[in-house]
Amino acid sequence: MLINSVLRFDGGEAGNPAMAQAATVEVADACPRTSEISDIFLGRQPIIDRKQELVAFELLFRSGYGAAGGIAATASVIANAFSELGIQNTLGPYRGFINIDSELLMSDLLGVLPCKQVVLELLETVEANDDVIKRCDELRRLGYRLALDDVTEVNDRVKALLPLVDVVKIDLMQIDWAALPDIVNALKPWPLSLVAEKVESKKHAERCMALGFQLFQGYYFAQPEIVSGKRAEPSEMALLRLLALILGDAELAEIELEFKRHPHLVYNLMRIANSAACGLPQKIDSLRQCIMILGRSQLQKWVQLLLYTLGRPGARLVSPLMLMAATRGKWMEALARGQRAGDVKYHDRAFMAGILSLLDALLGLQMSDVVGELNLADEVKSALLTRRGALGNLLLLIEKKEANDLSAVSCMLRDLPDFTPARFTTAELEAAAWANGLGRAA
């Protein structure tokens, strides 16, 4: 089953479910300092299906300096995205969607993009004139797939382009909700996949689901809904006890015994330990072997990941929250290495703060209640509860980046002399590649 992704150049959102499962990668216009094209930011936003399972990402590339730099700068960003920044490694088998304007659509630069790996997403500024229709038809014959971005009404322009596209994205922030059913009904006769983007609440998701949208984009699923009096489920509590044992330097035999009380957790641990992201030289086929080979530090990381899978046998390994949390953890670890190269304990604490930072969303509990169950270092507690201290600053920096608050990111990076936008982006790419590997479990 192929998952797709999207690249974009205007700084908005993107997403393509051309196949029932899709993802999105965006590339924004390059900065005016073309000699510093490498100083761009990367961001990615999950796209989920009707079962709230992760099926896609939107990866966004934006200049660290803001303004557009023209088509030549855009070409440089494409080159960086597919080579220097290692996007192919980050995406793995996923398809990349590139959101393009009229100038890029009509240029020969598209020839550098592999048709089997990308989808060309037409910006709302692309007119449906004869030249554009001819060009789109030509690209389709060459094997490219097309998508329409930011549809707010089914007007003459949209009708002219519908026969040429496989995907239509509707930006919920740009339409009147009362008009949405009519828009969807007008598109139903066409063999299209519909993406609802900028879904910011559970209510919005449910309304779009009722209208027949296949995919949804937005961080609503990562916003905790705290329920008064809620307690963690037994499997969640088991993992919290395991994590507490590891943090408390319990004997491995005691940790193994706790795992054995919950066979489904053993199953999930084996799946993650045998995943591509672990990179072990041999397959692990027993719990004791898993614990011995991983070691305490790695075991701690996998238990933290298990909190986000909570899988029953046969369940999907990757969930939106798990991938988000895994990326945060690995990203913070990479940034911590840049701050204190030889301080391994600091690196481990950074990973822990990142990966635990979404547990309130997962468990539906206050973060203070979650932290109360664990024997965490004060530095990690402070990061999770107040976003203060060195780790708290790193976590806040990543959260600002996820929210696409690039002005705040740039300001915070100025206070971190060890990090340029390029190094910050490189750390994110490494984290994204590692987290993606978790989904390719053996």
Lowest mean pLDDT among 4-18, 355-369, 394-408: 4-18
- Answer yes or no: is pLDDT of 171 > 80: yes
Distance of CA 217 to the CA centre of its chain: 10
pLDDT computed for residue 35 by the predictor: 35
What pLDDT sits at residue 276? 54
Give the HSE-up count for residue 295: Cα atoms under 13 Å, Cβ half-sphere: 4
Q: What are 58-108's pLDDT values in tens digits?
A: 766 666 544 444 455 455 556 555 655 566 666 655 677 777 889 889 988
Count Cβ atoms within 10 A of the Cβ of residue 442 and give its class: 0-12 exposed, 13-18 middle, 19 or more buried.
exposed
Three-class SS state of 98: strand
Q: What is the CATH number of domain 5-222?
A: 3.20.20.450
Query: With 0-12 CB in 10 A as exposed, 13-18 as middle and 19+ as buried, what is 77?
Result: buried
Average confidence (pLDDT) over 353-377: 84
Q: Give the model's pLDDT for residue 73.
A: 47
Residue 384 has a pLDDT of: 95
Higher pLDDT, 190 or 418: 190
Q: Which two tokens stand for residue 355?
A: 């990966």
Q: How much is the pLDDT for 223?
A: 62
Planar angle of CA 302, 305, 310, nearest 5 degrees:
115
Asked if pLDDT for residue 38 goes beyond 60, the answer is: no
Residue 83 confidence (pLDDT): 58
> CATH classification of 224-442 is 1.10.3210, yes or no?
yes
- Residue spans in the chain of domains classed CATH 3.20.20.450: 5-222
Q: At what angle do helices 234-247 and 263-273 cross, to 10 degrees?
A: 60
pLDDT digits (tens, 9 = 90+) for 118-140: 778 898 899 999 999 999 999 99
User: Among residues 256, 263, 269, 345, which one has the least CA distance to residue 304?
Assistant: 269
Q: Which residue did the predictor score with more confidence, 362 or 408?
A: 408
For the chain, the residue count is 442
Which residue spans of the chain are classified as CATH 1.10.3210?
224-442
For the segment 253-288, what is each residue's pLDDT rounded down to a tens digit? 888 888 877 766 776 777 677 765 566 666 666 677
| DSSP at 14 | -
- Pick 109 or 367 by higher pLDDT: 367
Res. 307: pLDDT tops 50:
yes
Mean pLDDT of 364-382: 85
Write down the pLDDT at residue 8. 37
| Predicted confidence band of residue 29 (pLDDT cuts 50, 70, 90) | very low
